Amino acid sequence: MSSNKHSFTFIDLFAGIGGTRTAFEKTGGRCVFTSEWDKHSQLTYFANFGELPHGDIKAIDENNIPDHDVLLAGFPCQPFSIAGVSKNKSLGRKHGFEHRKQGNLFFDIARILLAKKPKAILLENVKNLQSHDKGNTFKVICEILNKLGYKLFIEIKDAKQYVPQHRERIFIVGFRKDIYPDINFQFPKIPTKTKKIADILEENVDKKYTLSDILWKYLQNYAAKHKAKGNGFGFGLIDPEKDTITRTLSARYYKDGSEILIKQKGKNPRKLTPRECARLMGFDDSFKIIVSDTQAYKQFGNSLCVPLVEAIAKQMIKTMDSVKVRSINGQTDNKTQELEYVQNQIEKYKTGVDIEEISPQIRIPL
C-alpha cells in the first residue's frame, strides 16, 4: 500500500455525508462500498460523490461487500453518548449493547471484519464510549477486535488541533497482526498552527440566522435558572474578536443553536450558517450543501472532522508502507477458537440473545 492515487481501497460504513471518505480519498484511497441509511445524508453524499450509499447496514449481507484494504466506521454514538444514555434511561430504554436497535451495530462491523478481513480498520465514536457501562462496552469492542486478529492503537483526539472547535472523539486504529506482526502506530502529532473561529466566518450573513428577541431572552433565562441551580452551562457565546474556538457542534444545533452563538455588534447573537458549520468540520468550500438548513446542521453535527481524519489516514498508510509485511496467501493465522468465539457473539446478536459479560481481567491497551 502507498499513498499514490488509488493505491488502496476502503469501505465507508455509517458514512454520514462522507467526511471520512473525503479524508481517505485525499490520502489516495478508492471507496468501493458505502452504507448510510439516512435519506437526507444520502442526497448530500450523492451530490458530492456521485454515488448513492447502500442503506441499513443490518440488511446488508457481508458476503456481498467487495474486498477492501481498510474498513472505516464512525458508528452511531447516541446509545453511548452521555446525552444518549440519560435520554434512553429516562425513557426506560436500554442503552449500549442492550440498545437492540442501534448500540449493537458494532456487531455488524464485526461480521463484516470476520468475512472480509481487511488489512486495517479505523473506528470512531464519542469519548464516552470508554466509560459506558463501567467500561464493559469498550472492553467487549476491544476484545472482539483482538480476537478478529487486529492489533489496536487507541487515542482520544480533539478536533481543535485542526479546526476552531473543541470536539473530542475516540479513534480506534487496528492492523492485522498476521500481516503486520511488527507494526507500531503513532497517532499524528499536533499541528502548530490552526484556524481561529474568526477565520471561518462568512462576511454577509442573512438576517434569518440572528436570534429573535424571544429566543435570545429564553436562552438567557434558561441559562440563569440553571446557573442558580449550579448545573448546566447554558448557551455558548463566541466573541470572534477574542475567542478562538467553539464548543462541540452537535446534531441538535438546528434546534436553537445555543451551543455556538456568534456575538454581533448592536444585534442579538446569531447562529452559524450551514457553510460555517461545514468549515468548522474542516470541509472545503467546494463541498455541496443541497439540503435544508435543518438537515445541513444535523449532517455537519454528526460528521467527523475531515483534516483530523486525513492526518490519521496519512499516518496509517505511511505506517503500513514502512513495516515488514508477512505473506499470508489469503489465510489468517487467527486461532480457530477465537474466531469461533466471535462468530458465536455475532450469532447471539443476530438472534437477539444478550451478549456475554466479558471477564473483568481483560486489559485495554490504552
Ligand X SMILES: C[S@@+](CC[C@H](N)C(=O)[O-])C[C@H]1O[C@@H](n2cnc3c(N)ncnc32)[C@H](O)[C@@H]1O
Q: What is the set of active-site residues? A: 77
Which of 76, 79, 188, 301 forms a contact with ligand X (CB under 6 A)? 76
Q: What is the grid cell recorded at 323?
A: 513495516
Specify the DSSP element, H or E, that contains 268: strand 267-270
155 or 338: CB nearest ligand X = 155
CB of 216 to ligand X, least distance (A): 30
SS3 211: coil
∠ CA 196-202-207, nearest 5°, is: 130
- Among positions 134-163, residues that touch ligand X (CB under 6 A) are none
Instruction: Write out the DSSP string of 90-159.
Output: HTT---GGG-TTTGGGHHHHHHHHHHH--SEEEEEEEGGGGTGGGGHHHHHHHHHHHHTTEEEEEEEEEG
Please list, in sequence order, all residues whose beta carbon lies within 8 angstroms of the beta carbon of residue 104, skipping any fewer than 6 positions away: 97, 349, 355
How far apart are CB 174 and ligand X at their closest, in Å?
17
Distance (Å, whole) CA 232 – CA 315: 38
Query: Which residues inside 27-46 make contact with ligand X, applying CB under 6 A?
Result: 35-38, 41
84 counts as binding ligand X under rule CB under 6 A? no
| Residue tagged 450469532 (cell numbers) | 347
List the one residue from 26, 30, 40, 58 that touches ligand X (CB under 6 A).
58
The 3 state secondary structure assigned to 166-209 is: CCEEEEEEEEECCCCCCCCCCCCCCCCCCCCHHHHCCCCCCHHH
Closer CB to ligand X, 11 or 238, in the complex: 11
Pick the stretch among 15-23, 139-147, 168-176, 354-362 that binds ligand X (CB under 6 A): 15-23
Residues in 280-319 at the binding interface with ligand X, rule: CB under 6 A: 302-304
Contact 40, 295 (CB under 8 A): yes
76 or 164: CB nearest ligand X: 76
Site residue total, ligand X (CB under 6 A):
21
- The residue among 76 and 84 lying less far from ligand X, judged by its C-beta, is 76
Neighbours of 354 (CB within 10 A): 9
CB of 58 to ligand X, least distance (A): 5
Measured distance CA(352)–CA(281) in Å, rounded: 36
Among 57, 145, 200, 296, binds ligand X (CB under 6 A): 57
Binding mask 105-124 for ligand X (x = CB under 6 A): x-------------------
C-beta of 51: minimal distance to ligand X in Å? 14
Q: List, in order, residues 6 or more apart from 192 with CB less than 8 Å away.
A: none
Q: How far apart are CA 152 and CA 187, in angstroms?
A: 12
Stretch that binds ligand X, among 11-19, 81-89, 130-138, 153-161 (CB under 6 A): 11-19
Binding range to ligand X, per CB under 6 A, among 12-20, 204-212, 240-248, 335-343 = 12-20
Does residue 56 bind ligand X (CB under 6 A)? yes
Question: Which residues contribute to the site for ligand X (CB under 6 A)?
Answer: 14-16, 19-20, 35-38, 41, 56-58, 74, 76-77, 102, 105, 302-304
